[in-house]
Structure 1
Amino acid sequence: MTLGLAGYLANGLTSGLGSGAALAANVPVIRYPAPQSPLDTRSLDLLSLLEAALRRTEPEYGPVRLQPTDEVLTELRQFAELDADRGILHMTWATVSVERRTLAKTIPFDARHGLLGLRIALVDERRLPDIAKIRDLAALRRLTIGQGLAWPDVDVLRASGIKVQTVSGYENLFRMLMAGRFDLFPRGVGEVFDEYEARHAQMPRLAIDPHLLLVYPYPYQYYFAPSQSALAARVEKGLLAMKADGSFDAHLWRFHGAAVARARLQDRLALRLTNPNVSPEAERGLEATLAFWRKPPPSQKR
């Protein structure tokens, strides 16, 4: 089931059979984070994958109702709420960090198969000639990259000696990029094109850099409040079943195949960065991740 933005912003959806209205009054509610703005579609794939995992395990565990939080929560607030376990938020999704593992329970399943660690930059089109001259990390270090406050990407970039300007507020990042506060705003391959299309009319100088590909291990996982250990086990069981029968890979290509093709990964200069928040095993798996996304999607194989 592929969810549209309208479904994501609605009052919730029910994982189960029969009437959603009838079920809603009788099944447990699982609260996930509301999007950061009306233009924020970054998590549609994660919500759809979660819903599929719950459907897969429904015969054993029963139905649940997924519902967004009543208020918008920053990532910092999300993990504070999970740690407090007050029922405002039951689960979220995020990349790994040492601190996050102490605040919430996670399951060791990369919901995006490393795609979020393949980064293409949004830029002011007036900077494109300068960015086209970059040939190595030394040249990249002369520029400044914009990132969200407390995003783990900041650790990755600074570990590689890259200057970072942190910004509070998702939409503010686009505004400050266009105001010249920093030079590049790297985005995941699965994010960048939707973000560009949603804002280009209001920001006509916004452009997608056609030259660089920043590459680093960046697993993306589901996190749960301490009281939701049974839910965590259920979601993991559903995800592993989807991985085993191929439906997880089908989900990846359904959501991200068009963006991967548009990104032309083979034609970009790949600059590899190290992620200090992941294990050496994750670092070693980076080449396999890049190879997975560089191969033709299943529909194009001969």
Structure 2
Amino acid sequence: MSPHPPLLAAATRRQCLKLGLAGLAGVGTVHADDVPVIRYPARQSPLDTRSQDLISLLDAALRRTEAQYGPVRLQPSDEVLTELRQFVELDADRGVLHVTWATPSQERRSRARPVLFDVRRGLLGMRISLVDERRLPELAQVTDLQGLRRFTLGQGLGWPDVEVFRASSLQVFTVSGYENLFRMLLAGRFDLFPRGVGEVFDEFDARHRLMPRLAIEPGLLLVYPYPYYYYFAPSQEALARRVEEGLQLMKADGSFDAHLWRFHGAAIERARLRERRTLHLRNPSISDATAREVESNLASWTKPPPARRPRR
């Protein structure tokens, strides 16, 4: 028997795939074992909370379309997969993984089916750095990219941010393993670990007691266009269309904005974005049109959260 069961029980699989997962609604009583399982990437460590908002949003989009397409069940992958491995598995389409999330690139689009809806509305391209507190006086003197080039930035091996930083002639030190980045930072292997505004405070709060020299750099904000999309295995075209439909419904009624502010509002307030020295970087991996759209989204984060419209 294959270690990776098919999405649907044998009795309903062909019909439901043909109907874009809608078939479950008309196959009589739905048992738990008959509900399609959608596998997303397992977290990289027990302290890794980076993707909670994306899992919640995916679940919300699927629930918004459940009446039309039927129930599904989200489940993390059995293995911890690097980003590169995630796209290898999506491309192979063996059922190890059905969906992941990442920035756009031609290689990713050749391996998986993207839903071109920016699920973080550009927020991941607003970067605040984790640093060793002993470096804070030096970093306080940085006012432009030329000054930042004196320091080394740490990133994960294969992360797309590496090319963004190198395109601005910044020094980048790459590390294999998410948790190793925090240890290497405090070991002095690099000077700054730039993190998304929605990531940095949770990461700091989870580790500061065990790493008392870990600090959040208080003055700099690195900004670059960085949209974030869901990607689906090739066989999951119907699922991709369903998720896109759910996201558009959420955007139209204001619940997508409410989701973003629920997960990231406290971090936005804590970041004091308008008080920081902002350095703009170019993202060489995206088109000018996409960059302009993301820049418009970024500007919205410096404004008060919108009032949520009531659902009809």
Tell me if both proteins adopt one fold, taking TM over 0.5 as the criterion.
yes
Offset at 1:208?
Answer: 0.1
Whichever residue aligns with residue 248 of structure 1, its letter is F
Cα offsets for 1:74-101 (capped at 9, x unmatched): 1111011001111110111111222111
Identity within the alignment, %:
72
Paired residues of 2:225 and 2:295 also in contact (CA < 8 A): no
User: Aligned equivalents of 1:171 and 1:48: distance in 2?
Assistant: 23
Tell me, yes or no, if structure 1 residue 266 matches structure 2 residue 274: yes
Measured after TM superposition, the shift of residue 160 of structure 1 is 0.5
State yes or no: 1:285 paired with 2:293.
yes
Give the CA deviation at 1:282.
Answer: 2.2
Gaps of 5+ in 2: 1-23, 25-29
* Residues 23 and 265 (structure 1), Cα distance of their counterparts in 2 relative to 1, 3 Å cut: farther
Question: What's the CA shift for 1:289?
Answer: 2.2
Query: Which runs of no fewer than 5 residues in structure 1 stay unpaired?
Result: 1-15, 17-21
1:182-201 aligned at under 5 Å gives the runs 182-201=190-209
User: 1:254 is matched with which residue: 254, 259, 262?
Assistant: 262
- TM (norm. structure 1) is 0.90
Post-superposition, which runs of at least 4 consecutive aligned residues in structure 1 deviate over 3 A? none
Is 1:71 aligned to residue 76 of structure 2?
A: no
Partner of 1:8: none
Q: 2: CA distance between counterparts of 1:92 and 1:285?
A: 22
Secondary structure of 2:200's aligned partner:
helix
Aligned to 1:222: 230
Could you tell me how far 1:298 is from its partner in structure 2? 3.4
In structure 2, C-alpha distance between the alignment counterparts of 1:158 and 1:256, rounded to whole Å: 28
Q: Find the structure with the greater CA-based Rg.
A: 2
**Within 1, Cα distance between the matches of 2:285 and 2:68?**
35
Give the AA of the match of 2:131: V
SS at match of 1:282: helix
Counterpart of 1:242? Answer: 250
Deviation, structure 1 residue 299: 6.2
Matched, 1:123 2:117: no
Q: Is the 8 A contact 2:227 2:294 kept in 1?
A: no
Amino acid in structure 2 at the alignment position of 1:247: S
Superposition deviation, residue 286 in structure 1: 4.3
CA offsets 1:53-92 (integer angstroms, 9 cap, x no match): 0000101110001111111111111011001111110111
Alpha-carbon spacing, 1:153–1:25, altered in 2? closer, same or farther (3 Å): same
Alpha-carbon RMSD across the aligned residues, in angstroms, is 1.6
Q: Which amino acid aligns with 1:135?
A: T
Preserved CA contact (<8 Å) 2:122 2:295: no
Letter in 2 for 1:69: S
- The aligned amino acid for 1:250 is A
Give the Cα–Cα distance (whole angstroms) in 2 for the partners of residues 174 and 97 of structure 1. Answer: 27
Cross-structure match for 1:178:
186
Distance verdict in 2 for CA 1:206–1:23, change over 3 Å: farther
Deviation at residue 163 of structure 1 after TM alignment:
0.5
Distance in 2, matches of 1:47 and 1:286, equals: 22
Partner in structure 1 of residue 165 of structure 2: 157
Question: In structure 2, what residue type is equivalent to 1:297?
Answer: P
2:136 partner letter:
L
TM-score, with length taken from structure 2: 0.88
